[in-house]
Structure 1
Amino acid sequence: MLRQSLQPGRWRPFARSLSSLPINVSTAPTTEETTYSLKELARRKRKTEWKRRQGGQSFLDHLIVHVRAGKGGDGCVAFHRELYKPFGPPSGGNGGRGGDVYFLPTHHLTTLSSVTPRIRGNQGSHGQGTWQGGRNGAPLVVKVPLGTVVRELTKEEVAKYNFKDEWEAEEEALAGLSPEERLEKLRAKRWVHYPRYQDNNLKRAEFKEAERILWKEERARRIQRRRRALNPLFLDLDTAVETALSDDSPLGLGNRESLGHLIASGGAGGLGNPNFLSTNHRSPKFATRGHEGEFITLSLELKILADVGLVGMPNAGKSTLLRALTGGRAKSEVASYAFTTLNPVVGVIRVANDGIFEGWRGEGVVHDETQIEEERHLELMEQGAFADSLTRNQKRTGAGHDTAYSGHDFDLLEEFRFTIADNPGLISRASEDVGLGHSFLRSMERSLALVYVVDLSGPAPWDELRVLRDELETYQHGMSARARMVIANKADLLGCDDQNPQLVEDARRKLQRLVEFVEEELGPLDVVPVSAKFSNNLTKVVGLMRGYVEDAREELKRSRESKTE
């Protein structure tokens, strides 16, 4: 890739980006190292601008969805015909039932961007002759992320979206018509007539009786819909749906997954003309059309499910900490500007029986992609440019990149695992939806334990803690009580004896002031100085987090058992 980037034909994209940089290229040195640095700056600039444009659109945690179940198929008007039977009995089949709409929570999704704002169920097939009933519409399964809260909107909330159910849409279409035209349109939407027999059917007493029963059933459905509106739908999809099949399940299902939670039921299929056969009416020439499926407007709100949530100001080092704890498997963005993380990122931490976590590479290993890339390319420059550069299929070797255990061995040694979430930076007045505001705080509501991350290299990390605590409490009363630890990140100077003694002493006094502030205002929280960039003191952090998660899970289990009793 590096060799390809230096080809002459690939200089034009870099030239366009270099024109916007505050560097005079014409007067810059023409050495190979400087040329690479300019191109690397241009590449990072383009990547940053693209991420700022696209990052906010790829993650979606709140969505209004209009769901309409499938419409039932129409009944059929037909008569049986075969050799020597020119006037057979009525043989129209019933229409198929409309497809239901289900929501299935799944671990594989982390955003609502895959859910369309308008969901329409599959329609049932129409009935056919020789008593052939229509096929039922296949159920529509909409996959949503685990942790989605589904809430049905009230009629007043739906009104501002100008979306109407089947009866409201029908009334709007009939507005301004005369009573005769109104009745004609109502009948055309509910009945199917044999060709050239519509006028004859409307005069028959049997049709009028069937029409009276039809109006009565429709009135019952409207009353049922009003009763349902009194108890709006509310689902908290915080657990995955069980996919195992029971022993007495029908044959042919195979490994078919469970459909999930029913959101809207499909409409019933229409009745074929044999359903209107009676002793007085031996040749019914009418059938009913299928009913519309249920319509419902929902508000989907995603609240990230993670055992531990990192809470910190922008550029406090949360993304670097997550990369260090997960061995780089959690692809959180790392850069030097504020609000680098625009979307929550969830990583999994696996802990072995000896306390070592997967991805641990020893003390002092650098978790800074920018620095690693620069050192690697400068090393290649000294060795003769890119003659020995790695291809895309080669892997870098060395002690700094070997994990404590291989993946296969760790599967046998794993004793405990938990998830940790890196969230966008929190700023003052975030509870008023300033900055990323509610998008950040919403993703923190489900965390079993919260961990503050502050920048120890800053002038006053205790002021950051005060802002974080106040914003959590303002957004949701009691939310700050779930905080269990304070990570003083960027504590690089505390472990360096060869640095300026005055700087080291200032860092230690700052840490002592932070500990005193936590004891006075935040209560019994653990304060752990770390350097996520150099992997210092991370084993202690993982051990403490494991204890928090175990306690929280046990308490949650006891509360659920008490509710069931």
Structure 2
Amino acid sequence: MKFVDEANLRVEAGDGGNGCLSFRREKYVPRGGPDGGDGGDGGSVFLVADHNLNTLYDYRVSKVFRARRGGNGAGANRTGAKGDDLVLPVPVGTLCFDRDTDELIGDLTADGQRLRVAQGGFHGLGNARFKSSTNRAPRKTTDGTPGEQRNLRLELKLLADVGLVGLPNAGKSTLLSAVSGARPRVADYPFTTLTPQVGVVGVGPLRSFTLVDLPGLIEGAAEGIGLGHRFLKHSQRTRLLLHVVDILPPDGQPPAEAVAAIAGELAAFSPELAGRERWLVLNKADLLPEDERAALRDDIVRELDWRGPVYMVSALDPDSLRPLLGDVMTRLEALREAVSDGDDEGGDEAE
């Protein structure tokens, strides 16, 4: 199925059912009185996060979704049936916006999380509701209220712990396939990755993290040039970025220039994203003799004045990847613990 990360749709909740005007009429029961029942509530529309989905493709095909209307009331104090709610499954990581106001309605970040996006109409009242000591035969009823209608924009931002960024042909897809069970398309030409690819990296017993490979960026990506600009948003949920660089690119571009170009695109797209923790991964080390690797790494670090962690790896050499994966896992565990401690402290203050 085609990967789609944005979709526009219209949702219409069901109207409430109308109240009934009725009087009890039975043999031997004179002046039986009012017995009109209430209508039923209209169905609401909900979005539900489903971890089995990874695309919004279905919402490009169907555009309008309606919940059921509530049933009308009936005589003998019978209440109309409640309209069934309409539940629309979406991938985990979906944001829902009101297209008319651009208001963020909700962010579905956990499997099974529900978000009501259109409230069903409320039921009308039957004439039995209006009976009183001074009004024994009321002829008053009310209609159900209309269901809420909304134009929505769904936007998917993949949930992943670590994101791979870099120029086309930097070896990101090969790296992902080497460390996880993901099988992205790999070829010796640019832009083989046309959609984000997610894999789970196992580091040890009960220790794993998710890694997303984003389509290659080029200069001007933040302004819409190339493919990567459409998917930069998927890196916004990551805790850590791995900047993958080809140490011997076919076009001869110096690695330091490649790093600077991507850093500029990240900053142009989002200053917050540019400030995200980013590690430098010098890839395809197998193309260099071992005695030349350290010198090249030191030259790149000096040109960039790089202050963060640096790794020289080869997707073809599992031994070169183990230190990187181990350090990433350790860093993510520290970040998760920090977030957990912050939540605990916030809870204590609230109490």
TM bucket by the smaller chain? Answer: 0.7 to 0.9
Rate the CA distance shift 1:467–1:233 in 2: closer, same or farther, 3 A. Answer: closer
In structure 2, the partner of 1:455 is: 246
Name the SS for the 1:288 alignment partner: coil
Of the three residues 156, 163, 167, the one matched with 1:302 is: 156
Say if 2:346 is the partner of 1:346. Answer: no
Distance 2:104 2:271 in 1: 26
Say if 2:52 is the partner of 1:101. Answer: no
Name the SS for the 2:222 alignment partner: helix
Higher Cα radius of gyration: 1
Name the SS for the 1:287 alignment partner: coil
In structure 1, the partner of 2:266 is: 472
Distance 2:12 2:257 in 1: 51
Deviation per CA, 1:294-352: give whole Å up to 9, x if none: 223333222111111000111221111111101xx213222233221111111111222
Name the SS for the 2:46 alignment partner: strand
Name the SS for the 2:8 alignment partner: strand
Of the three residues 166, 169, 174, the one matched with 1:312 is: 166
In structure 1, list runs of 5 or more residues that go unmatched. Answer: 1-54, 158-231, 242-258, 353-413, 495-503
**C-alpha displacement of 1:140:** 2.4
In structure 2, the partner of 1:78 is: 22
Task: Kindly report which structure 2 residues correspond to 1:421-436, keeping only aligned pairs within 5 A, or say none.
Answer: 421-436=212-227
**C-alpha displacement of 1:101:** 2.1
In structure 2, the partner of 1:60 is: 4
Moved over 6 A (4+): none
Task: Kindly report which structure 2 residues correspond to 1:119-518, keeping only aligned pairs within 5 A, or say none.
Answer: 119-155=65-101, 232-241=103-112, 260-279=114-133, 281-285=135-139, 287-326=141-180, 329-352=181-204, 414-458=205-249, 459=252, 460-494=254-288, 504=289, 508=292, 512-518=295-301
Task: Kindly report which structure 2 residues correspond to 1:527-538, keeping only aligned pairs within 5 A, or say none.
Answer: 527-533=310-316, 535=318, 537-538=320-321
What is the RMSD computed on CA atoms of the aligned residues? Answer: 2.6
Distance 2:99 2:302 in 1: 45
**C-alpha displacement of 1:534:** 5.1
- Identity of matched residues, %: 40
**C-alpha displacement of 1:273:** 2.1
Name the SS for the 2:75 alignment partner: coil
The one-letter amino acid of 1:120's match is R
Distance 2:155 2:14 in 1: 25
Distance 2:217 2:277 in 1: 15
Distance 1:335 1:303 in 2: 26
**C-alpha displacement of 1:95:** 0.7
Distance 1:344 1:522 in 2: 30
Deviation per CA, 1:512-548: give whole Å up to 9, x if none: 3444333453532333222214545122221122122
Query: Does the 8 Å contact 2:23/2:33 carry over to 1?
Result: yes
Q: What is the aligned length?
A: 343
Name the SS for the 1:97 alignment partner: coil
Rate the CA distance shift 1:85–1:438 in 2: closer, same or farther, 3 A. Answer: farther
Deviation per CA, 1:153-197: give whole Å up to 9, x if none: 455x6xxxxxxxxxxxxxxxxxxxxxxxxxxxxxxxxxxxxxxxx
Rate the CA distance shift 1:471–1:340 in 2: closer, same or farther, 3 A. Answer: same
Distance 1:281 1:478 in 2: 67
Query: Does the 8 Å contact 2:92/2:159 carry over to 1?
Result: yes
Distance 1:151 1:518 in 2: 42
Could you state the TM-score of these two structures normalised by the residue count of structure 1? 0.56
In structure 1, the partner of 2:343 is: 560
Query: Does the 8 Å contact 2:217/2:229 carry over to 1?
Result: no
The one-letter amino acid of 1:517's match is I
Rate the CA distance shift 1:233–1:455 in 2: closer, same or farther, 3 A. Answer: closer
Of the three residues 315, 325, 328, the one matched with 1:545 is: 328
In structure 2, list runs of 5 or more residues that go unmatched. Answer: none
Query: Does the 8 Å contact 1:462/1:517 carry over to 2?
Result: yes
Could you state the TM-score of these two structures normalised by the residue count of structure 2? 0.87
Rate the CA distance shift 1:319–1:61 in 2: closer, same or farther, 3 A. Answer: same
Structure in which a larger fraction of residues adopt strand: 2
